[in-house]
Amino acid sequence: QVQLVESGGGLVQAGDSLMLSCAASGRTFSSYAMGWFRQAPGKEREFVSGISRSGGSTYYTDSVKGRFTISRDNAKNTVYLQMNSLKPEDTAVYYCTATLGYYARDPKGVGSWGQGAQVTVSS
């Protein structure tokens, strides 16, 4: 299992930008597809974005398309989520995930989870 540590969460105003980072332990980072989920209070955990092992393929849920960008640096064992034009409905705990092979869109298929980073967007 890979260990994941998120950073970069915080409190911002609507329209602001924020970047989340997720550092992974181990020497096999490039074997894992990476993803970001989020969970708002009272709601189910939602898949937000995923990126393939090489970074050549990405996926975004409809609500964040055009605003969020996922990227990875395999040399630094780190995946990023750049969030622009943030909205109050983006408020949630954001979780970094790692899955061998292809990124999982279902929480049940995720291999490893980070501890979560709180993102709060005020109106």
The pLDDT of residue 103 is 87
Q: Which of 30, 59, 35, 52 is nearest to 107 (CA)?
A: 35
The pLDDT of residue 26 is 77
DSSP at 29: G
* Contacts of residue 42, Cβ cutoff 8 Å, sequence gap at least 6: none
The pLDDT of residue 27 is 73
Is the pLDDT at 83 greater than 80? The verdict is yes
pLDDT in tens, 2-50: 999 999 999 999 999 999 999 999 779 999 999 999 999 999 999 999 9
